[in-house]
């Protein structure tokens, strides 16, 4: 199976397991900058050179060699499950994508028909009941993850622990796992542990939020979208994420982690 979703600097200084909706655009650009002294011109997800990616066949051998040999600092980044699933909804379901079309073609029309959601019209800019539509989307996300219907779960709303685990199961080991909510501290620890061809000043790095502007702005605070039933659904889907990555299930308004991630526990529980 190898190391799906894994990126590595061409200098082989650091290895990153991408977790969608967890600052991956910014992290990819930092890695690119650390090698080349400039940012990739465009969305880093579109880069086909200047960064090793498992999705590129010629990157398989170097990634495999470095990961299995523990020859570079390996890390990933996680996010509060409440804000992550909300971000997925506004970006992927309500938003128009980089190609000017809806995400995954017939997905949104199917959600409108089968789950009764609204997305703000053709351009995603219209008024609609965001809370009601999000809660219906949450039912759909649960259906895909629990029963794999009406489709397989999408990488943007499947559990973070699932993404994180493939790296471990296939022979990798993380040196750092940090939260997007404490991004600068976590990323700085990674950078402090490596030598890069070009120094990275985190304070001067812009945030590359490639999904920003794709869809409507969130009209309410995070907690407004989650009633008792929604919280139950979120816990059903993301129980392991809350526990392993130390997020507060009881209070959707608290986006911050409530404790330190235990790397040994993560490797033990996700390495089966």
Residue 78 phi/psi, 5-degree rounding, is -125, 175
pLDDT at 207: 85
pLDDT at 97: 85
Is it the case that residue 124 has pLDDT exceeding 80?
no
Question: pLDDT tier at 50 (50, 70, 90 boundaries)?
Answer: very high
- What is the residue range of 120's domain? 82-155+216-238
pLDDT at 261: 97
Instruction: Render pLDDT for 78-96 as a digit per residue (tens, 0 to 9).
Output: 999 999 999 999 999 998 8
Flag whether 69 is in a domain.
Answer: no
Flag whether 224 is in a domain.
Answer: yes
Is it the case that residue 139 has pLDDT exceeding 70?
yes
Flag whether 98 is in a domain.
Answer: yes
Question: pLDDT tier at 215 (50, 70, 90 boundaries)?
Answer: confident
Question: pLDDT tier at 128 (50, 70, 90 boundaries)?
Answer: very high
Contact of 31 with 14, CB cutoff 8 Å? yes
The encoded tokens of residue 31 equal 């890695």
Flag whether 183 is in a domain.
Answer: no
Flag whether 132 is in a domain.
Answer: yes
Flag whether 267 is in a domain.
Answer: no
Question: pLDDT tier at 210 (50, 70, 90 boundaries)?
Answer: low
Flag whether 194 is in a domain.
Answer: no
pLDDT at 176: 98
Tally of domains within the chain:
1
Flag whether 141 is in a domain.
Answer: yes
Mean pLDDT of 127-135: 95
Instruction: Render pLDDT for 54-82 as a digit per residue (tens, 0 to 9).
Output: 999 999 999 999 999 999 999 999 999 99
3-state secondary structure the chain: CCCCCEEEECCCCEEEECCCCCCHHHHHHHHHHHHHCCCCCCCHHHCCCCEEECCCHHHHHHHHHHHHCCCCEEEEEECCHHHHHHHHHHHHHCCECCCCCECCCCHHHHHHHHHCCCCCCCCCCCCCCHHHHHHHHHHHHHHHHHHCCCCCCCCCCCCHHHHHHHHHHCCCCCCEEEEHHHHHHHHHHHHHCCCCCCCCCHHHCCCCCCCCCCCCCCCCCHHHHCCHHHHHHHHHHHHHHHHHCCCCCCCCCCCCCCCCCCHHHHHHHHCC
């Amino acid at each position: 199976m190898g190391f799906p979703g894994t990126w590595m600097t061409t200098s082989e200084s650091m290895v990153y397991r991408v977790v969608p909706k967890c600052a991956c655009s910014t992290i990819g650009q930092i890695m690119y900058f650390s090698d080349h002294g400039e940012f990739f011109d465009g969305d880093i997800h579109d880069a086909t050179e200047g960064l090793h990616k498992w999705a590129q066949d010629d990157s398989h051998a170097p990634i495999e060699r470095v990961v299995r040999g523990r020859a570079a600092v390996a890390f990933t980044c996680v996010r509060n499950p409440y804000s992550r699933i909300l971000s997925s909804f506004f970006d992927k379901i309500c938003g128009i994508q980089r190609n000017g079309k809806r995400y995954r073609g017939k997905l949104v029309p199917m959600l409108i028909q089968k789950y009764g959601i609204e997305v703000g019209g053709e351009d995603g800019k219209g008024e609609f009941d965001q809370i009601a539509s999000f809660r219906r989307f949450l039912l759909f996300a649960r259906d895909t993850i629990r029963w794999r219907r009406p489709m397989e779960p999408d990488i943007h709303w499947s559990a973070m622990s699932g993404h994180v685990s493939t790296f471990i199961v296939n022979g990798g080991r993380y040196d750092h796992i940090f939260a997007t909510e404490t991004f600068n501290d976590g990323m700085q620890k990674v950078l402090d542990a490596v030598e890069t061809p070009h120094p990275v000043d985190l304070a001067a790095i812009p945030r590359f939020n490639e999904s920003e502007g794709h869809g409507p702005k969130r009209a309410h605070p995070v907690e407004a979208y989650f009633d008792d039933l929604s919280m139950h659904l979120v816990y059903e889907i993301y129980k392991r994420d809350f526990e392993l990555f130390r997020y507060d299930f009881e209070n959707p308004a608290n986006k911050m982690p409530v404790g330190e991630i235990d790397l040994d526990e993560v490797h033990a529980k996700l390495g089966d």
